[in-house]
Amino acid sequence: MWKSTLLLVLGLGAIALAQTPQALVDDAIQKQKAGDLEGAVTEYQEFLKVHPEVAVVRSNLGAALAGLGRLQEAVTEYQAALKESPSLPGVSLNLALAYYKMGRIGDAALELAKVHKKEPANEQATLLLGDCYLRMGQNKEVIRVLRPAERDHPEDLAIAYLLGTALIRDHQLAEGQDLVDRILRNGDSAEAHLMLGSAKLEAADFSGARDEFAKAIALNPNLPEAHVLYARALQVTGDPDEALKEFKAELAIDPYDYASNLQIGAMLRQDQNYEDARAYFMRALETRPGDIAVRYQIAAMTLSEGKTDEARLQLESIVKEAPQFTEAHVSLSMAYFRLKRPNDGNREREIVQKLTAEAQAKQPGVKAR
C-alpha cells in the first residue's frame, strides 16, 4: 500500500517535487511501514511545509497521527486532504474511523453514509454504519442499511447480530428471533443471549431479560452494550446499586456509551453531585448532539443549582422542540414561579394537566372504568 501511495505522489505531474521533499516522503513511508510513526509524522510535516497541496501525503499523515492516538490532529489532516482531493480513496473511511474512536458517532455516521452511498459493497463501511445507527438509537436506519447486506452475506454473524438487535428494538420480534436462532445454531454465544435479553426487555419480561444479560456477560464480559442493558434490567427489578456498577463497567469498554453516561449523570444529579454529573452529560451529548433527554437533565440540574433564569431558557428551548415532554413543562412551571411569573407558571401547569390526562386516557382499561 505504501509503495502505491508513493507512486501516487510521484505521479502528480503538476507538482515539481524537489529531490529533498521526494526523499522525505520516501523515508516517511518507510518509517510508517516499519512502525516508526513519530518519525513518519515529522517527515510528512516537513514535506507539507513545501507542498501543502498534496492530499495523499496529508492522508498518510492523518493515518500516522491516528496510529499514535492523536485523533483530533488526524481528523484535521483528513479534512484537509478531502478539501484538496474529495475523491481520494479511503480518506472518508479513515476520517469516519477517527470520529468513531473519538466517540463522535454522529459525525462518523455522516462520513460512513457518504462512503456507503458511493461504495454499497464496502463491507467495513456498511457494518460500521449499521453499528453507528444502532448506537444512536436509529433502528430503522440500521435495518435499511443492513438488510441488503444480510441477504448478500447470510453467514456473517456480525451483520446478523446488529440487524437482529435493531429488528427486536423496532418491535419486529419474529424477524429478530430468526436471526437469534441463526446465531444460536453456531453454538451458545454472548451475542445470542444479548439479543434474547433485548427481546424480553421489549416484552416487559424484566427478570427474564436480566438473566439473559447476565449469561451474555458471563460468556463475554467485553461485549458492547451487554453491561448497559443488564444495568437497565437491574434498575427495573430494583437493584440500583448493581445497576450503577454495570453502567460503569460499560464505560470501561466504551467511554462514550450514550445510555451509561446519561444514566450515571442522572444518578449523580439525584445525589446532588452536580459537577461530576455534568461531565457525564457532556460526554453523552458528544455521542448524540442536541439530545433532548440529556438537555433536560442538564436543565433540571441547573434549576436545582439555583440558576433559575438559565434553566428557564434551557427548558423553554426543550418544550419548543418537544411540546409533549411533560417533565420539561413541570420543571419550566417551577422556574416561572421562582421567577415570580405566576401567569406563565399557571399556563405550564395547565399544559401538564392536559398532557397527563391524555396519557392516562391511552392506558388500557381507562375507558372501561
Domain 290-361: which CATH class?
mainly alpha
Q: Domain limits of the chain? A: 1-95, 107-187, 290-361
Q: What kind of fold does domain 1-95 have according to CATH? A: 1.25.40
- What is the pLDDT tens value at each position of the chain, 369 positions in all? 444 444 444 444 333 344 467 777 888 888 888 888 898 888 888 888 888 888 889 999 999 988 887 888 889 999 999 998 888 888 999 999 988 888 788 899 999 999 999 999 999 999 999 989 988 889 999 999 999 999 998 888 889 888 988 998 898 988 888 888 888 787 778 888 888 888 788 778 899 999 999 999 999 999 888 999 999 999 999 999 999 999 999 999 888 888 999 999 999 999 999 999 999 999 888 777 788 999 999 999 999 999 999 999 999 999 999 999 999 999 999 999 999 999 999 999 999 999 999 988 876 554 443
| φ, ψ at 200 (rounded to 5°) | -70, -35
What contacts 32, CB < 8 A, 6 or more positions away?
A: 2, 40, 60, 63, 64
Nine-digit cell string for 131: 453499528
Domain 1-95 matches domain 290-361 at the CATH topology level: yes
Contacts of 328-332 spanning 24+ positions with Cβ under 8 A: 328/296, 328/299, 329/355, 331/296, 331/299, 331/300, 331/303
CA distances from 171 to 48, 59, 306 (A): 53, 42, 42
Nine-digit cell string for 60: 498518510
Please determine, looking at this structure, whether the domain spanning 107-187 carries the CATH number 3.40.50.450. Answer: no
